[in-house]
Structure 1
Amino acid sequence: MATRTRRPQRREEPLSRRSIVEAAIGLLDTAGEGALTFRALAERLATGPGAIYWHVTGKDELLNAATDAVITTTVTTGTTDAAGSAAATPQEAIRALALGMFDAIDAHPWIGTQLARAPSQSPMLQVFEHLGRHIQTLGVPHPAQFTAASALLNYILGVGGQNAANARGHHQHTSRTEFLDTTATAWANLDPDEYPFTRNVADQLRHHDDRTEFLAGLDLILTGITTPQSPTDPTHP
């Protein structure tokens, strides 16, 4: 008796750009950018690669669309505080947006790379625009607004990206607690003459919370932004 060939599962719902982007995000989250191919995406969507090309012209467009979808959601929800209420002050709005970005990069590690790769495209500009609006509301002088918004953006992306890299790099074969304990022990055993500061804060590394430290660093930047600057002494350029 001839063996019957199993037919691939057919898609029941119409294919749309939105469903393609959602599937791409899922593939990126689970397997990373290297695994995002139109063949893999077609298998996940139970369709053919040609049907996907009808909605998306190539991988670069797909990556940008996936990044835009995540960032748009983050920026939209980043106008509220932890309780879900509208942020009362520009500082609270910046904290909410920054923490939303931190969590988004943690959940979607590929986001940080994509934002850094295309700083002139819409997803990055959305974040920069919203930070800039809050900076203006704070009353920061116009000549300092670009620097303030850039400092915040670079801090958010830098720390968020490093946190995501640590979580998926160092902790693949060990828990975060074990990793921090091992690293803190190594710090504590450094040469006391060459690394006096690092030895002194080793125990803080062991017990720190990433999100708490992220917000503490953000507050340091906000304090610097909102503190009036004394006029520069012309005798000390």
Structure 2
Amino acid sequence: MATRTRRPERREEPLSRERIVEAAIGLLDTAGEGGLTFRALAERLATGPGAIYWHVTGKDELLNAATDAVVAGTMIDGTADTTPQEAIRALALGVFDAIDAHPWIGTQLARAPSQTPMLRVFERIGRQVQALGVPHAAQFTAASALLNYILGVGGQNAANARGHQSDTNRTEFLETAAAAWANLDPAEYAFTRNVAGQLRDHDDRAEFLAGIDLILTGITARQWPTDPAPS
């Protein structure tokens, strides 16, 4: 009688905090924050909710960890010959693209200003603001202006993208909006009518970076008050 060879059992990858966070990001991308439950996460990981609680204490911690994992991926170390302006542009575009790919990121960053993800971004911006030579008394203002612009425009772009999921839908949306602008009352909306064509043809990322450049130009050109740094 022939003996049957026993097939080796397939070993599943052990559950870890990293696997849980990765699965949470995937769930957030597809179902949004409302769809992130420990039951749904347990099904995705083929485990029980209790095993997940061993690694994370609750949804808030999981949201923060997922946000931090995405944001950390945008933190690109600059080279020695990178200017502060170039470093800020690279960081800003990284966060913009991260919010575009993961729309829930924008809400999480704005909701938790004292948590690690937001602090990562603010710290990187602040160090480059210092490198620009902005006086200490104006550094918070300059860094905050950049941060608020990045999060505001990034979040708005993500919200717009959810409204038109394809390039075709985006084109149709802009065509309709531009036509509406062009037909506004010329006396009341002279400027808006005049830039209707630019609305139709604009590139979101290019406009975003142009806004960053405008802020950087203002930061470097302004005559800031020079207060001594605290000892």
TM-score by length of 2: 0.89
Cα offsets for 1:139-177 (capped at 9, x unmatched): 011111000000000000000000000000255796111
Q: Distance in 1 between matches of 2:167 and 2:155?
A: 20
Match of 1:54 in 2: 54
Matched, 1:219 2:213: yes
Is 1:44 matched up with 2:39?
A: no
Structure 1, unaligned stretches of length 5 or more? 1-9, 232-237
Displacement of 1:13: 1.4
Note the aligned Cα RMSD (angstroms): 1.8
Identity %: 82
| Alpha-carbon separation, structure 1, partners of 2:150 and 2:222 | 23
Alignment of 1:22-33 (within 5 A): 22-33=22-33
Residues 135 and 145 in structure 1, CA contact (< 8 A), matched pair in contact too: yes
Which residue does 2:94 correspond to in 1?
Answer: 100
Q: Does 1:160 align with 2:154?
A: yes
Is this contact kept in 2: 1:128–1:149, CA < 8 A? yes
Map 1:195-214 to 2 at 5 A.
195-214=189-208
- Matched residue type, 1:32: G
CA contact (8 A) 2:183 2:193 kept: yes
| Bigger RCO (CA 8 Å, 6+ sep) | 2
Distance in 2, Cα, partners of 1:197 & 1:189: 12
The runs of at least 4 aligned residues of structure 1 exceeding 6 Å deviation read none
Q: Which residue of 2 aligns with 1:120?
A: 114
Tell me the CA shift for residue 228 of structure 1. 3.8
* Aligned length, in residue pairs: 216
1:31 Cα offset (Å): 1.2
TM-score normalised by structure 1 residue count: 0.87
1:141–1:109: structure 2 CA closer, same or farther, 3 Å change rule?
A: same
User: Is there any run of 5+ residues in structure 2 with no aligned partner, and where?
Assistant: 1-9, 226-231
Query: Given the alignment, which residue of 137, 144, 150 partners 2:144?
Result: 150
